[in-house]
């Protein structure tokens, strides 16, 4: 690898925002070629700063052996957003090439429209079955499941959500105790079809730093984390500011044209008066 390529990769990894600005000014073909020779971690760091439609265009042009390692370095929500922007044939090709543990969560999330709770979830949730004992769950937890932070969700055999408990409750309980004795039967949830503004305004965020997302049958699909909530809230706020600015410009434009129309009417009236005076004279 040349010294220029090494410096480029280092710059993309350490300064992804600035690298994204440069990349967005390049023709798509050149930007795609740049990604082809960039390590996946550096490429993903830069792509996180760019719109999904732009990323989809570049990754769709790359061979799967190059695009998939980059895609897998991105958050799941970003992966879904990028795949939605691709043509169905290319999207299906990538999904078939992905390892099963990666493709299955994506296939569950893709049917939900952008801006819905279903499109924002993290499907990797630590669940326990209602028949389990504390000892059995502790044995599973020892494997270090990445989603095991604070809450554990209890599901039935059809993966319907029926309860929730905390990791602290689990650690303090009798190993022989049944999970059903610990789990709270009432669980606050978000429907997968809920829109962004409804998600952000959900009052239960005051008490929870993650919330489960279910479908109409109460099947547990995943969770929305507080970090995702904050990102969604910031995006909504930015869009609201853009809408306000646009409304202000439109109002000013309307005032301008109203004023201009008044001037034209005044000029027309003056012309008519002048012609009348000339005729009378």
- Fold: same for 3-111 and 127-225: no
Q: Could you tell me the two tokens for 245? A: 């600015």
Fold of 3-111: MgtE N-terminal fold (1.25.60)
Q: What percent of the chain has pLDDT over 70?
A: 83
Q: How far is the C-alpha of 11 from the C-alpha of 153, rounded, in Å? A: 42
Task: Read off the pLDDT of residues 199-229 as tens digits, 9 standing for 90 and up.
Answer: 999 999 988 888 999 988 898 888 998 888 8
Considering the chain, what is the average pLDDT of its residues? 82
Which residues neighbour 164 within 8 Å (Cβ) at sequence distance 6 or greater?
Answer: 151, 152, 153, 154, 183, 184, 187, 212
**What secondary structure does DSSP assign to 105-153, as a single string?**
HHHHHTTSPTTBGGGT-B----EEETT-BHHHHHHHHTT--TT-SSEEE
The reported pLDDT for the residue numbered 92 is 93
DSSP 193-229: T-BHHHHHT-GGGGT-SEEEEE-TT-BEEEEEEHHHH
Residue 265 pLDDT = 53
Residue ranges for the chain with pLDDT beneath 70: 1, 143-147, 186, 242-281
How is the chain split into domains, by residue range?
3-111, 127-225
Amino acid 76: pLDDT = 82
User: Residue 83 and residue 60: Cα distance in Å, rounded?
Assistant: 9
Contact 64, 94 (CB under 8 A): yes
CATH 3.10.580.10 is the classification of domain 127-225: yes
For residue 259, what pLDDT is reported?
A: 56
Residue 247 CA to residue 17 CA, distance in Å, equals 30
> What is the rounded distance in angstroms from the CA atom of residue 67 to the CA atom of residue 17?
20
Give the pLDDT confidence score for residue 84 in this predicted structure.
86
Give the pLDDT of residue 145.
62
Q: Is the pTM of this model over 0.75?
A: no
User: Quick count: other Cβ atoms within 10 Å of Cβ 3?
Assistant: 7
């Amino acid at each position: 690898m040349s010294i220029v390529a090494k410096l480029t990769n280092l710059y993309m990894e350490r300064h992804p925002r600035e690298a994204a600005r440069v990349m967005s000014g390049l023709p798509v073909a050149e930007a795609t070629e740049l990604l082809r020779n960039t390590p996946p971690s550096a490429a993903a760091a830069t792509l996180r700063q760019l719109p999904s439609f732009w990323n989809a265009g570049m990754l769709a042009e790359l061979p799967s052996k190059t695009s998939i390692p980059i895609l897998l370095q991105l958050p799941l929500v970003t992966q879904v957003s990028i795949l939605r922007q691709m043509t169905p044939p290319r999207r299906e090709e990538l999904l078939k090439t992905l390892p099963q543990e990666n493709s299955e969560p994506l296939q569950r999330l893709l049917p939900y429209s952008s801006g819905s709770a279903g499109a924002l979830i993290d499907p990797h949730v630590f669940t326990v079955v209602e028949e389990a004992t504390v000892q059995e769950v502790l044995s599973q937890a020892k494997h270090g499941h990445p989603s095991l932070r604070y809450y554990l969700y209890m599901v039935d055999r059809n993966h319907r959500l029926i309860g929730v408990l905390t990791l602290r409750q689990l650690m303090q309980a009798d190993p022989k105790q049944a999970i059903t004795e610990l789990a709270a039967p009432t669980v606050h949830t978000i429907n997968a079809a809920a829109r962004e503004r409804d998600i952000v305004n959900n009052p239960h965020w005051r008490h929870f730093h993650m919330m489960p997302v279910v479908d109409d049958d109460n099947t547990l699909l995943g969770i929305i984390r507080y970090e995702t909530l904050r990102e969604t809230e910031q995006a909504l706020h930015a869009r609201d500011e853009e809408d306000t600015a646009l409304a202000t410009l439109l109002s000013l434009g309307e005032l301008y044209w109203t004023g201009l129309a008044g001037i034209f009417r005044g000029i027309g009236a003056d012309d008519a008066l002048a012609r009348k005076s000339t005729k009378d004279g």
